[in-house]
Amino acid sequence: MGPESELTGRTAIVTGSTSGIGRAIAEALAGAGAAVMINGFGDSGQIQLLRQSLENRWGRPCAYHAADVRNPQEVAALFEATVEALGPPQILVNNAGIQHVAPLEAFPEERWSAVMDTNLTACFHTIKRAIPLMRDQGFGRIINIASAHGLVASPQKSAYVAAKHGLVGLTKVAALETANSGITVNAICPGWVLTPLVQQQIEARVRERGSTFEEEATAMLEETQPLHAFTPPQAIAKLCLFLCSEAAATLTGSTLSMDGGWVAH
């Protein structure tokens, strides 16, 4: 039996799952038998189509909640809605994230706060809500989607790098506090993934330099990754499935790099 069969009957919350990496993770968890609460922003009609497609394709219940995970009251509502619609969650994937690029001396204070709140503080809110529910069930899998920038830095990304470094630290603390309770807490640190967020960064470089999208995508990869290829969102989703499996029961407090060799420099 593969790790997928072990998720039948599990309930998962995936933040930031209306597009990109989070969507791929939600689809993988549903395909593996879990009931999934998707969360994030976007066109309401498109989100409803996503929810319906997950249910129709995999035959597992799927719900949606529009909580802004930066807000602890909305996070509480997200968890209450999950318990009511799908049952108490055993899996939490913190994927919601935003980016802003600027030199430190020109970095807007409001963008600093937004990046920190979305990429780090929101994870504190969700983990705080998840742990008691998981303790009661004697099982839990918390997966934080960090970044290669949780382990190394790049210029002009002060808030993102600080938040993702903080998320790696939060992952370790949560793992220590939940040891021997059936809960594991790990962080995945992807390198370049061609998500809408990264696509926007490439398009900004194109506008700045007057080059092509393909040229700037290649240049971006070459600047940091020895392996010049984007990681598919589906590959990160499959790593999440492994972390949710019984085979990963003793894998906790770890940072798992899937980054084309970025941090091996």
What does the alpha-carbon distance between residue 195 and residue 113 come to, in Å, rounded to a whole number? Answer: 22
DSSP per residue over 79-119, as a string? Answer: HHHHHHHT-S-SEEEE---------GGG--HHHHHHHHIII
Q: Tokens 């790098």 map to which residue?
A: 161
Amino acid 131 reads I
The single residue of 58, 112, 160, 192 carrying the catalytic annotation is 160
Q: H or E stretch including 40?
A: none
Cα pseudo-dihedral 189, 121, 160, 245, rounded to 10:
10
Tokens of 47: 């989100």
Q: Identify the burial level of 135 via C-beta atoms within 10 angstroms of its C-beta, where 0-12 means exposed, 13-18 middle and 19 or more buried.
A: middle
Q: Are 185 and 252 in contact (CB under 8 A)?
A: yes
Q: Which secondary structure element, helix H or strand E, spans residue 244, and what is its range?
A: helix 233-244
Token digits of residue 191: 């390198």
Distances (CA, A) of 216 to 38, 80, 126, 204: 32, 44, 36, 9
Helix and strand numbers (H, E) in the chain are: 9, 7
From residue 17, alpha-carbon distances to 23, 70, 135, 151 in Å are 4, 15, 25, 24
Is 64 an active-site residue? no
- Residues known to be catalytic: 160
